[in-house]
């Protein structure tokens, strides 16, 4: 999984007091209350809409250009990195909430506002914080079906991204979230959190949307695809990559 900046995990407002503990885990993501957001910000439902060439409010295209500029990367690579960054955001909030307090916030795409121009990590605001059951079926419905399936379709309509690459990104982001929760739980005597996160991750990795994306051994994950981060100048391969060393790259295409 490529580095995504200095990430912080904060509580989800009005969901459960136990979620205030999430900020102590470190390395994972912020979910802000809607009142703190600019009301003009789009929702993720808007981002998953069809490509709109030449239209300035194609927010997914705006996000990919933002990532491409930050990494000096070609558009296809930036699209993959942007996909994995958003997948990590969504898994972090849902898996962390489920592991710590047994419930998750309703993160339906029309309830999450998003700033595509922000730096890493993606900035998200929740319009509501209605608690839902923290089981694998609910997480799969919220994250896989609700977000990552339509996000993958939207990205593939714009860029040459293999389905296996996007499955690998989603699985890698999930495994990374579970690994951080495992480390935090065992350091702080919360083996219940570590065990719950691991169990949920294993169940989710067997979902048809993620099955075959890689192998989870303990908390270590090895994916069967590459996210293309090696094509970023100075990037190299990620710790869970299918490659041991960067493959030889063809000359870079223009990133426009």
| CB 126 within 8 Å of CB 93 | no
- Per-residue burial over 8-25, b if 16 or more Cβ lie within 10 Å, else e, is ebebbbebbeebebbeeb
Looking at the predicted structure, is the pLDDT value of residue 194 above 90? Answer: yes
Please report which helix (H) or strand (E) contains residue 167, including its range.
helix 163-187
User: Can you give the pLDDT at residue 41?
Assistant: 87
Confidence of residue 1 (pLDDT cuts 50, 70, 90): low
Distances (CA, A) of 85 to 3, 63, 116, 249: 9, 11, 12, 23
Say if strands 214-217 and 112-115 run parallel, antiparallel, or are unpaired: unpaired
CB atoms within 10 A of CB 175: 28
Beta strand spans in the chain (E): 31-33, 103-105, 112-115, 123-126, 131-133, 214-217, 220-223
User: Can you give the pLDDT at residue 9?
Assistant: 35
Say if strands 112-115 and 123-126 run parallel, antiparallel, or are unpaired: antiparallel
Q: What is the DSSP letter of 100?
A: H
Looking at the predicted structure, is the pLDDT value of residue 11 above 90? Answer: no
Confidence of residue 55 (pLDDT cuts 50, 70, 90): low
pTM: 0.87
Q: What is the DSSP letter of 250?
A: P
Q: Worst-scoring range by mean pLDDT, 91-95, 139-143, 196-200, 247-251?
A: 247-251
CB atoms within 10 A of CB 100: 25
User: Can you give the pLDDT at residue 149?
Assistant: 97
Query: What average pLDDT score do residues 198-224 get?
Result: 96
pLDDT tens-place string over residues 111-124: 998 889 988 777 77
- Does residue 32 or residue 12 have the better pLDDT? 32
User: Can you give the pLDDT at residue 220?
Assistant: 95
pLDDT tens-place string over residues 217-231: 999 999 999 999 999
pLDDT tens-place string over residues 120-138: 777 778 887 788 999 999 9
Percent of the chain with pLDDT over 90: 59
For 122, the token pair is 């993606």
Query: What average pLDDT score do residues 37-50 get?
Result: 85
**Using CA atoms, how far apart are residues 202 and 199, in angstroms rounded to an integer?**
5
- Does residue 3 or residue 236 have the better pLDDT? 236
């Amino acid at each position: 999984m490529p580095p995504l900046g200095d990430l912080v995990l904060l509580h989800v407002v009005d969901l459960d007091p136990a979620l205030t503990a999430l900020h102590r885990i470190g390395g994972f993501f912020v979910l802000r209350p809607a009142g703190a957001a600019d009301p003009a910000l789009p929702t993720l439902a808007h981002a998953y809409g069809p490509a709109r060439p030449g239209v300035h409010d194609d927010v997914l295209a705006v996000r990919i250009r933002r990532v491409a500029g930050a990494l000096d990367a070609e558009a296809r690579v930036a699209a993959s990195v942007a996909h994995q960054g958003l997948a990590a955001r969504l898994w972090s909030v849902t898996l962390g909430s489920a592991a710590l307090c047994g419930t998750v916030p309703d993160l339906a795409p029309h309830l999450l506002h998003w700033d595509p121009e922000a730096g890493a990590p993606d900035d998200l605001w929740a319009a509501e914080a209605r608690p839902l059951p923290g089981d694998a079926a609910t997480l799969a419905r919220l994250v896989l079906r609700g977000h990552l399936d339509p996000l993958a379709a939207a990205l593939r309509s714009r860029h040459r991204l293999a389905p296996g690459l996007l499955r690998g990104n989603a699985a890698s982001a999930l495994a990374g979230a579970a690994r951080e929760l495992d480390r935090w739980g065992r350091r702080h005597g919360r083996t219940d959190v570590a065990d719950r996160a691991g169990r949920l991750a294993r169940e989710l990795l067997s979902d048809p949307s993620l099955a075959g994306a890689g192998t989870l051994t303990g908390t270590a994950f090895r994916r069967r695809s590459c996210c293309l981060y090696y094509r970023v100048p100075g990037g190299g391969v990620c710790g869970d990559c299918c490659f041991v060393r960067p493959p030889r790259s063809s000359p870079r295409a223009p990133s426009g």
